[in-house]
Amino acid sequence: MGISLHPSTVTMPPMASPFPSIIDFLCNRFPLVAREIWQQRIVDGKVCGEDGNPITVQSAYLPQGRLFYFREVATEPLIPFAESILFQDDHLLVACKPHFLPVTPGGRYVQECLLNRLRRSTGIETLAPLHRIDRETAGIVLFSVNPGTRSRYAELFLKGNIKKNYRAISAALPPPGEREWQVENRIARGEPWFRMAVVPGRVNARSMISLLEMQHNRALFHLQPHTGKTHQLRIHLSGLGYGIEHDRYYPQLQPERADNFLTPLQLLAKSVHFRDPLSGVEREFCSERELMW
């Protein structure tokens, strides 16, 4: 049994009454966790409200209220690849994540995530990710070390003051003469719930994509996201007709299967560049990892 040492949080969204029971909400929000399991966790005092006290099965649903719980999994897969720390000071830690390792606990993963691995290796319990990349994606992830300065670094992402560069490989080749694309659209939650989709409405996702090289019927792309929507680059490149090699979600959802460590998603968060909000120093961090080019 894998049990997280740190609580996870879920927010009860606003909705019209009558409100669901908390158990109904949790079952709908986490469909892979059986109803009996949530009921037993609540009975055992493992789900708490914002006041820190355990809730009961009779507790009322509170729109915009938060619930805290400790993630549990019966069996947890081991990811046979190591992360590396590229930089660390009293405020910031920069790590390079391998493919297949999630940034934070989720699904079948509790201890096997970048956050908890780094907490164990550094002894820093206050670590918190400033952003996330997909489990299937490798590359640069920034963490806040000091809660007192966390908001200063978080603002880099909120205000778009950090430059992120990715690399991706596709088995589809652009036609002659096409080398740059600016993609702008709206991305929202799709079906099933873990997939995203392009929908009508105001633009909330922007990416610049350029072709770097072609060889042996494969294309290497440089991608620069200007926003940070879930799966944004995978959707934008796929939408152009250049799906990323070994992508199991886009353009078509593939049947669920065990990870094949020999065929990682060919997407890499290669580098980040920003002005440090505390020191004013220009910082750039680059992943030592390479795609299978």
- Dump pLDDT digits (tens) for 82-99: 999 999 999 999 999 999
Predicted pLDDT of residue 181:
98
Q: Is the pLDDT of residue 74 over 80?
A: no
Report the interhelical angle of 22-29 vs 35-43 (nearest 10°): 130
Q: By the 8 A CB rule, do 249 and 195 touch?
A: yes
Predicted pLDDT of residue 1:
57
Q: Pick from 241, 264, 280: which is nearest to 97 by CA?
A: 264
Q: Give the mean pLDDT of 169-184.
A: 95
Run of H or E including 144: strand 138-144
15-24, 84-93, 277-286: range with lowest mean pLDDT: 15-24
Predicted pLDDT of residue 231:
98
Q: Is the pLDDT of residue 270 over 70?
A: yes
Q: Would you call the peptide bond into 31 cis, given omega within 30 degrees of 0 as the criterion? A: no
In percent, how much of the chain has pLDDT > 90? 85
Q: Give the mean pLDDT of 143-148.
A: 98
Q: Is the pLDDT of residue 33 over 90?
A: no
Q: Is the pLDDT of residue 70 over 90?
A: no
Predicted pLDDT of residue 32:
79
Mean pLDDT, the chain, whole residue set: 94
Q: Give the mean pLDDT of 218-244.
A: 97
Run of H or E including 35: helix 35-43
Predicted pLDDT of residue 3:
73
DSSP state of 71: -
Domains of the chain: 2-73 (3.10.290), 84-162+273-286 (3.30.2350.10), 165-267 (3.30.2350.10)
Q: What separation in angstroms does the CA of 210 have from each of 52, 80, 99, 177, 225?
A: 49, 32, 23, 12, 12
Q: Is the pLDDT of residue 182 over 90?
A: yes
Predicted pLDDT of residue 222:
98
Q: By the 8 A CB rule, do 126 and 142 touch?
A: no
Predicted pLDDT of residue 90:
97
Q: Is the pLDDT of residue 130 over 90?
A: yes
Provide DSSP, 196-228: EEEESSS--EEEEEEEEEEETTEEEEEEEESS-
Predicted pLDDT of residue 68:
94
